Amino acid sequence: MDAEEKLLLQRLVEKDIRREAIELGARSLEGVSLNESAKMYIIETVIDRGVPKAAGALDTTKFTEAITAEAQRFGGAIGVGPRVTGMGAPAPVQLTEAQRADYKAQAEAEDAQFKESWSNLLGTKDPAVLDRAMKGRAN
């Protein structure tokens, strides 16, 4: 076997280790709730840092640990993980008497403005007609 054949064989072995690493990474991330592109990003990141090898083959234990660590880091970076939610409803808003009076005055002003608009539209000042118009009745 000459140098060129050894180089070709080495490339084939490296490609096979990379393929095996991608398959192992995909199996390791099956239960993780990330989309496929995020999972591929995690696998590629670990592979780009260097595939751990033992006796010329993929070191599956170290590679799986690296995938798990990168998935946790990636998940923490994008905000996937434990969050505090559902801590109960907020306390009800307490209105002061001044706020209640202000809201009541605003509602009365709006009613007066609507009655005036209906009065101009219908051409009448009859309170019974305006009250019906305010209630949305046509007759």
The ranges assigned to domains in the chain are 3-78, 97-135
- Using the predicted structure, report yes or no on whether residue 83 has a pLDDT greater than 70: no
Q: What is the mean pLDDT of the chain?
A: 84
Q: By percentage, how much of the chain surpasses pLDDT 70? A: 90
pLDDT band (50, 70, 90) for residue 90:
confident
Mean pLDDT computed over 99-112: 92
Burial label for 46, CB within 10 Å (0-12, 13-18, 19+), is: buried
Q: Say whether pLDDT at 139 is over 60.
A: no
Whole-number pLDDT of residue 23? 92
| Mean pLDDT of the 61-82 span | 82
Closest residue by Cα to residue 113 from 88, 101, 130: 130
State the pLDDT at residue 96.
92
CA distances from 60 to 53, 57, 72 (A): 8, 9, 18
Burial code (b: 16+ CB inside 10 Å, e: under 16) for 4-38 equals eeeeeeeeeeeeebeeebbebbeebbeebebeeeb
CB 122 within 8 Å of CB 129: yes
